Amino acid sequence: MTISDAGPPRRRLGSGLKLKLFAYALVAPVVLLILGLVAYPFFFAIWVSFTDMVIGSAGNFVGFKNFEYLAGTATFWAAIRNTIVIVLVSDALKLVIGLGLALLVHQNLPGRGLFRSFLMLPWAMPAFVAFLTWRVLYQPIGGGINLILNQTGLYTGTVDWLGTRNTAMASVIIASVWRGFPFWFISILAALQSVPKELYEAAIVDGANTWQRFWNVTIPSILPVIIVTTLLSSIWTANGFEHVWLLTAGGPSDATMVFPVLAYFGMQTQRIGEAAAVSVYMLPVLAILVLFATSLMMRREE
Residues 109 to 138 in contact with another protein, rule: CB under 8 A? 109, 115, 117-130, 132-137
* Cβ neighbourhood burial of 112 (10 Å; 0-12, 13-18, 19+): middle
Query: Which of positions 77-116 make contact with another protein (CB under 8 A)?
Result: 97, 100-101, 104-105, 107-109, 115
**Residues whose CB is less than 8 angstroms from the CB of residue 35 and which lie 6 or more positions away in sequence, other chains included:** none
Is position 169 an interface residue for another protein (rule: CB under 8 A)?
A: no
**Residues whose CB is less than 8 angstroms from the CB of residue 144 and which lie 6 or more positions away in sequence, other chains included:** 136, 137
**Residues whose CB is less than 8 angstroms from the CB of residue 225 and which lie 6 or more positions away in sequence, other chains included:** 187, 188, 190, 191
Q: Which amino acid is residue 236, in one-letter code?
A: W
Is position 171 an interface residue for another protein (rule: CB under 8 A)?
A: no
Nearest to 225 by CA among 263, 204, 195, 253: 195
Shortest Cβ 153–another protein spacing (Å): 14
Q: How far apart are CA 93 and CA 81, in angstroms?
A: 18
Using CB under 8 A, pick the residue from 37, 71, 88, 219 that binds another protein.
37
Using CB under 8 A, pick the residue from 213, 221, 251, 285 that binds another protein.
213
Q: How many residues bind another protein (CB under 8 A)?
A: 107
* Residue number with CB closer to another protein (77 or 200): 200
Nearest to 254 by CA among 29, 75, 39: 75
DSSP 3-state percent helix, strand, coil across the chain (nearest 5): 75, 0, 25
* Residue number with CB closer to another protein (255 or 282): 282
Is position 71 an interface residue for another protein (rule: CB under 8 A)?
A: no
Is position 220 an interface residue for another protein (rule: CB under 8 A)?
A: no
Shortest Cβ 231–another protein spacing (Å): 9
Using CB under 8 A, pick the residue from 79, 169, 257, 276 that binds another protein.
276
Is position 139 an interface residue for another protein (rule: CB under 8 A)?
A: yes
